[in-house]
Amino acid sequence: MNIPEIDLQRVVIIGGGFAGLNLAKKLNKNHYQVVLLDKNNYHTFQPLLYQVATSGLEPDSIAYPIRRTFKNAANFHFRVTEVYGINATEKTVNTSTGALRYDYFVIATGAKTNFFGMDSLENNSISMKSLVESLDLRSKIIQNFEKALYTKNLKEQEALMNFIIVGAGPTGVELAGALAELKNHVLPKDYPDLDIRRMKIHLVEAAPRILAPMSEVASKKAHEFLKKLGVHIWTNTLVTDYDGTLVTTNGKTDFYSETLIWAAGVKGNPVEGLSEENITRGNRIEVNDFLEVAGKESVFAMGDVALVHSNDTPNGHAMLGSVAMQQGIHLANNFNRLVLDKKRKPFVYNDKGTMATVGRNLAVVDLPKFKFQGFFAWFVWMFVHLMLLVGFRNKVIVFINWAWSYIRFDKGTRLIVRPYKE
Ligand SMILES: Cc1cc2nc3c(=O)[nH]c(=O)nc-3n(C[C@H](O)[C@H](O)[C@H](O)COP(=O)(O)OP(=O)(O)OC[C@H]3O[C@@H](n4cnc5c(N)ncnc54)[C@H](O)[C@@H]3O)c2cc1C
């Protein structure tokens, strides 16, 4: 790979997600040559993927070109490439566009969908881990209603208008709420020839309650909000099989649906070249609290792909944007200390709380010392997400979209953008 050789130590980072982007931004480029590699030329704001999938936001408003973030940055190089693995002995990284030498190597490749070995679900469901997937889901949802207009067969219509969301973590809950808003406010106007009341949204969860990682009160309130919006919630229910139409569960209920959205789990997405001992729970790379990979000199991992194993965090941190962001900044500060001969600091997560939105005026927020729900929580959720979005233009576009939807009860991007098939 063609990167200039200069008289600075080279830090190669894979992944321009929350972790990689923050590390690359904060590294002192007077002291390091920074090379950022990503298979996409943009950063994705994953917390709003569900709004793209449900026609609330256009995809470009939650993604940001990586090159633009580093416009005019000295000693910084970005390349679009897929990283296959590393050779830690030779200190090289192997990519789809050739090999590259490193002095320090940082893995920030995030997570991928975990189907827990269930092939039928992997082959037939839709997941929502990338911009492309959420755009495809948007097309599928709208296409289902277009198809439903052409069938008189009630069972077929039921399958087209039934939406099964598996996994009631924040992603599943937010998606269910947004689909319910489409059903309640948008689809009846778009499809006057269909009885939209027959559309059903089923949220299926293996745990005894929804939003299991959040407080009991948040979970109870979110349950109440979703019920009010007309979502059917099935807790203690495990989906075991899906053939593309029939959803089989371990409970008494099976469903007919053309659309099963899998939001039930993710696992780490490490690259090749690490040893078996480096990979731990959830397919994540085990690191110490300096984010170093054991036995691999000058190799670090952070964000979703890394599990910080320490006495305080035997199971690591949750896979959250806030953790990834803090780790990126922390590692940059440690690199910057290194050149000043200052002692590095161990990573300590500053938990600022978690939140999930259910719909218009409805959200739940768990802060470390304070929990609240409803309108104020919804307002806080919007403000925080707007502030975290990368790029001023994106913030403005998202704000305008939200204001428009709020005033007009509308979702403006209901386009099918799949290749046309007979
Ligand atoms: C639908 C959804 C909703 C979410 N909602 C929230 C939320 O509300 N709040 C919250 O805190 N967190 C949320 N998260 C989690 C949050 O998005 C992640 O924790 C965060 O993105 C992790 O950041 P990261 O930098 O580790 O990885 P990512 O942001 O996933 O970035 C990884 C990057 O690596 C690149 N990459 C991967 N493999 C390769 C390769 N082999 N070669 C080259 N490039 C590669 C990818 O293209 C990507 O750009 C959500 C996640 C999803 C999927």
Distance CA 392, CA 264 (A): 32
List, for residues 209-254, the tens digit of each pLDDT value.
999 999 999 999 999 999 999 999 999 999 999 999 999 999 888 8
Arithmetic mean of pLDDT, 154-158: 94
Distance CA 249, CA 254 (A): 6
Fold match flag (9-39+81-113+266-339 vs 119-264)? yes
Contacts of 394 (CB under 8 A, 6+ apart): 45, 61, 62, 63, 64
Q: Is the pLDDT of residue 175 over 80?
A: yes
- pLDDT at 311 (0 to 100): 85
Please report the atom of ligand 1 found closest to the CA of residue 304. 26
Our answer on whether the CB atom of 167 is closer than 6 Å to any ligand 1 atom is no
Q: Is the pLDDT of residue 295 over 60?
A: yes
Please report the atom of ligand 1 found closest to the CA of residue 303. 26
Percent of the chain with pLDDT strictly greater than 70? 99
Reduced to 3 DSSP states, what percent helix, strand and coil does the chain have, rounded to the nearest 5?
Answer: 35, 25, 40
Among protein residues, the one whose CA lies closest to atom 51 of ligand 1: 46
Q: Is the pLDDT of residue 411 over 80?
A: yes
The CATH number for 9-39+81-113+266-339, chosen from 3.50.50.60, 3.40.50.10860, 3.40.50.2300, 2.40.50.110, is: 3.50.50.60
CA-atom Rg of the chain in angstroms: 22
Our answer on whether the CB atom of 269 is closer than 6 Å to any ligand 1 atom is yes
- pLDDT at 314 (0 to 100): 86
Residue with tokens 């590699």: 37
Residue with tokens 């940059």: 332
* Structure tokens that stand for 226 in this block: 């979703």
**163, β-bridge pairs:** 201, 259
Beta strands at 76-80 and 63-65: parallel, antiparallel or unpaired = unpaired
List, for residues 321-370, the tens digit of each pLDDT value.
999 999 999 999 999 999 999 999 999 999 999 999 999 999 999 999 99
List, for residues 263-282, the tens digit of each pLDDT value.
999 999 999 999 999 999 99
Contacts of 212 (CB under 8 A, 6+ apart): 168, 169, 205, 219
CA of 111 to the centre of ligand 1 (A): 6
* Structure tokens that stand for 164 in this block: 């099964």
Average of per-residue pLDDT values in the chain? 95
Please report the atom of ligand 1 found closest to the CA of residue 129. 53
- pLDDT at 155 (0 to 100): 93
Q: Is the pLDDT of residue 421 over 70?
A: no
Arithmetic mean of pLDDT, 292-320: 93
Q: Is residue 177 within 8 Å of residue 362, measured between CB atoms?
A: yes
Among protein residues, the one whose CA lies closest to atom 29 of ligand 1: 17
Give the amino acid at 348: V
User: Coil, strand, or helix at residue 105?
Assistant: strand
Q: Is the dihedral of CA 233, 239, 244, 246 positive or negative?
A: negative
CA of 420 to the centre of ligand 1 (A): 30
The ranges assigned to domains in the chain are 9-39+81-113+266-339, 119-264
Our answer on whether the CB atom of 109 is closer than 6 Å to any ligand 1 atom is yes
Largest CA distance in the chain: 75
Among protein residues, the one whose CA lies closest to atom 37 of ligand 1: 109
Nearest to 159 by CA among 267, 61, 58, 242: 242
Q: Is the pLDDT of residue 420 over 80?
A: no
CA of 340 to the centre of ligand 1 (A): 32
Q: Is the pLDDT of residue 422 over 80?
A: no
Number of other residues whose CB lies within 10 A of the CB of residue 282: 17
Contacts of 17 (CB under 8 A, 6+ apart): 43, 44, 46, 108, 110, 303, 304, 324
Domain spanning 119-264 has what CATH number?
Answer: 3.50.50.100
- pLDDT at 3 (0 to 100): 95
User: Coil, strand, or helix at residue 343?
Assistant: coil
Our answer on whether the CB atom of 47 is closer than 6 Å to any ligand 1 atom is yes
Our answer on whether the CB atom of 270 is closer than 6 Å to any ligand 1 atom is no
